[in-house]
Every structure is written in structure tokens, then in C-alpha cells.
Structure 1
Amino acid sequence: MSDDSPAPTSAVDTPRSRVRLAKGASPWLVPTALTAAVTGCAALRSRRWAFAAVPTLALTGGMLWFFRDPERTPVEDGIIASADGVVQSIDPWPDGRTRVATFMSPLNVHVNRAPLTGVVKSVEHKAGGFVPAFNKESEHNERVVWVFDTPRGEIELIQIAGTVARRIVPYLEAGAEVEVGERIGLIRFGSRVDVYLPPGVEPAVTVGQRTTAGETRLDRV
């Protein structure tokens, strides 16, 4: 092999395999990790501290998993899924749009992504309850309503908090330009994301189908 030959690329080097921590994780992760570190050091000196060290270390590991933020490769065309999870329902709306609701369990990645390239027209926080995200009444939960101005028209996206997820962290403000698949916010713990397809757009997903934010196409070609 000559010196000019490209170096072999391993799976570890690909953007798809790189994982970082989600923006907005620090208020939860840092105190837990510090507690785990302190109790872990204390356990090395006295076994009595192991009763505190083991659960805090386990909790820290769980939070590292929960707040993971893997890289994604957005599809070039179409409206893409904004959330990892399972399609909970597909409902025709009175104004001609179609709502695709995706349930996110605590095991899913909870960083949400823009469904299309465009401009954030508005970001509005609305107070509400905290019933389970899989419950129909969860549409009245604490939520953040996004409206995107895109080449396909206005697209509405709603981040909905659940029983455990009581904090939604938007990454962008109104007026921001956004690329398809770009990170727009985080919902801490189990929750739901609704995307409203424009009138005349047929959904390409089905109820029960798993979606990957930034990669699964929601609209049919």
C-alpha cells in the first residue's frame, strides 16, 4: 500500500457511530455523577458506603444511557421523524392535516429533530398536566408547540411531557434557520412527539412502527 492510499475506515470512525451527551443533561447528570464519585471513593475505604455507592453508580450509568445523543444521517427528501420511538396513532385532523404521534419510552433517545429544512416560525410553551404520554389525554400535558415555515408549507410539531418527563428543553428560538434532522430540543424521560403532516400528504409509517429521529421518513413519496 502506497503512502497516498486512504487509510481504512473502521465502524468506530463513522459519524453514524459517534455518540455524545444531549445538551440540557447537566442539571440531572452532574449532581448524580458527583454523588456516585463521592460514595464510590468512600466505599473504597469502608464497605458500609457500598449500600449508597452501588445505586448511585447504577443511576449514573442509566442517565448516561438515557441522555445519549447519537449522530444521524437525515434523508435528503421528505418529512422525517422528529423522535425515536413507536408510532402510537395516525389521525386525520379537521383542517386536512394528519397527526402522527410517536411515543418515546425512557429507553429511547430523547433528543428531537427538525422534520424539514426551513425557519422556526414560533416556539410556544404551554402549561398542562402530566398524565402518561401514551394516554389520549396527554395532548393536554405540559408541552412545547413548534411551527416551522418550510418549502412544504407550515409544519407543526408538539413536544409533550409525560408522567416522568416534566421538563422540555428547546434548543432554538423563533426566527432560527434549521436544517432537516437538526437537533431542536430535548424531553427528559418518557414522553411523546406529534408531527402534523400538511393537507394532502399521505403518511408512510404505520401504527406500531418504530421510528428513528432524523432518518425515518414520515411522508409517502
Structure 2
Amino acid sequence: MVARGSFSWIAAAVTITAAVAIIAYTTQMSAAKYATASSLSATAFFLWFFRDPKRRTRICNNCLIAPADGRIIDIRNRKICIFMNIHNVHVNRVPISGRVVNIEYKKGGYLPAFCKDSERNERCEITLETPHGEITVTQIAGTLVRRIVSYVQIDDKVIQGQKIGMIKFGSRVDVTVPESLTITCKKGDRVIAGETVIAKMQGVNRGN
């Protein structure tokens, strides 16, 4: 299964591969054959990169789960920052059930997503109204990214683990943590979107 919003990239790669393959077949040129192999490799890469594997989310109303695959690069001021490398799945998910109350897209630069200055990059801030108060999930573009894809709209009711959007290529996702929840992760931890608990109420087990 491939991520929603990736069709144009995959379609372009398939079209180019098919065209180059036809040229290689009709001309028997060595260069065209090498180009076909390269195009096939590019198509395979896009299919792999835009993969969207199934995730099993155990709903927990008193837990915050990771909104993105990747590595935690910073925790400060009740905000957890997750860096997504090129090998991570880039589909983002809802950290806790609630309602979308605001979506704000902000233009900006394209600094490396792991830099603190990347907060000035192109980004999309999605604010959720939850039983623990408002939280904000911020999708931040990286150096190679020119597009952030959102799957939700204002007033949508969303469920923990639901797909919320995607950032193309290397990027970062920040999430604010309500005061009622205790952060359970630490800098350097690897997390999986829709599965890894990153904060919860004290004394609460997963599934409550």
C-alpha cells in the first residue's frame, strides 16, 4: 500500500520507465538499456519510500502516541520533536483522539529538519481539541521537501492512530504534550507512529 498524495511521483516514475524501456527495445542502444535500469530503480525507490504499512493502534484515551516514525531529537517546553530520516515511513498519525480545531499552513525555508532553526521552515500546524486540552502537531519540511500533505480538515473528529498527513522526504514532526500527561520517552529514542507511547497519565496502563 502506498501513501495518499504520492501518486504523482509514482506515476511520473512509471511513465518515464515505460518510455525509456520502449526506446531501449526499439533502438537496442546500450545507453537506453542503462537508462531503463536506472528508471526501474527510481520507480522501486518511490514505491518503497511512499509505503504506507498497516499499524495496529491500541486506543488509550490517557496516552499520547508518536505521530511519526523516527528518532526523538529534542524534548523541551512540553514539546517532543521527532526527526524522520529518509528510511522512515513518512505518513503521520493522530497522537490522541479529538477534534481538529485549527490548521495553519506557514511558508518558510528548507533548512535541515534536525536543526533548531528549522522551526522557520515550511510547516503545517494542526491543533486538536482533546479531553486533556488542546495539543498541536506540527509537520515541518526539510531540505528536500516542497510539499506537506494534510489528510484532515477543520472540525473533523479524529481517532488516535488515524492518518493525519504526510511530509515528502526527510522531515520532522513536533507534538505538544498537555500538563496532565507525563512524558515517558527520552531524547534518542526510536518511535513508531501509531504505536509507541510517548506520554501518559501516571498510574495508567495502555488501553485505559
Q: Does 1:64 align with 2:47?
A: yes
Classify the secondary structure of the residue corresponding to 1:100. Answer: strand
Q: Does 1:144 align with 2:124?
A: yes
Q: 1:34 aligns with which of 15, 26, 35?
A: 15
Unaligned stretches of 5+ in structure 1?
1-19
Q: Which residue in 2 is equivalent to 1:194?
A: 174
Would you say the 8 A contact 1:90–1:206 is kept in 2? yes
Counterparts of residues 87-102 of structure 1 (less than 5 Å)? 87-91=72-76, 93=77, 98-102=78-82
Would you say the 8 A contact 2:102–2:128 is kept in 1? yes
Q: Which residue in 2 is equivalent to 1:207?
A: 187
- Give the alignment's TM-score, normalised by structure 2: 0.91
Q: CA deviation at 1:44?
A: 3.2
Q: How many residues matched?
A: 197
Considering only aligned residues, what root-mean-square deviation do their CA atoms show, in Å?
A: 1.1
Q: Which residue in 1 is equivalent to 2:25?
A: 44
Look up the equivalent residue of 1:69 and give its one-letter code.
D
Look up the equivalent residue of 2:13 and give its one-letter code.
T
Counterparts of residues 1-221 of structure 1 (less than 5 Å)? 20-45=1-26, 46=28, 47-77=30-60, 78-91=63-76, 93=77, 98-220=78-200, 221=204
Partner Cα distance (1:76, 1:182) in 2: 11
Q: CA deviation at 1:90?
A: 0.7
Partner Cα distance (1:75, 1:151) in 2: 17
Classify the secondary structure of the residue corresponding to 2:173. Answer: strand
**Alignment deviations for residues 101-126 of structure 1 (CA, whole Å, 9 cap, x no partner):** 00001111000000111111111100
Would you say the 8 A contact 2:132–2:180 is kept in 1? no
Look up the equivalent residue of 2:10 and give its one-letter code.
L
Partner Cα distance (1:37, 1:99) in 2: 46
Classify the secondary structure of the residue corresponding to 1:79. Answer: strand
Q: CA deviation at 1:200?
A: 4.2
Partner Cα distance (2:58, 2:185) in 1: 15
- Consecutive aligned runs of 4 or more in structure 1 exceeding 2 Å deviation: 40-45
**Alignment deviations for residues 58-102 of structure 1 (CA, whole Å, 9 cap, x no partner):** 1111110110001101132111100000001111x2xxxx11000
Unaligned stretches of 5+ in structure 2?
none
Classify the secondary structure of the residue corresponding to 1:86. Answer: strand
Percent identity reads 41
**Alignment deviations for residues 12-54 of structure 1 (CA, whole Å, 9 cap, x no partner):** xxxxxxxx11000012111111101221233234133113212
Q: CA deviation at 1:201?
A: 2.3
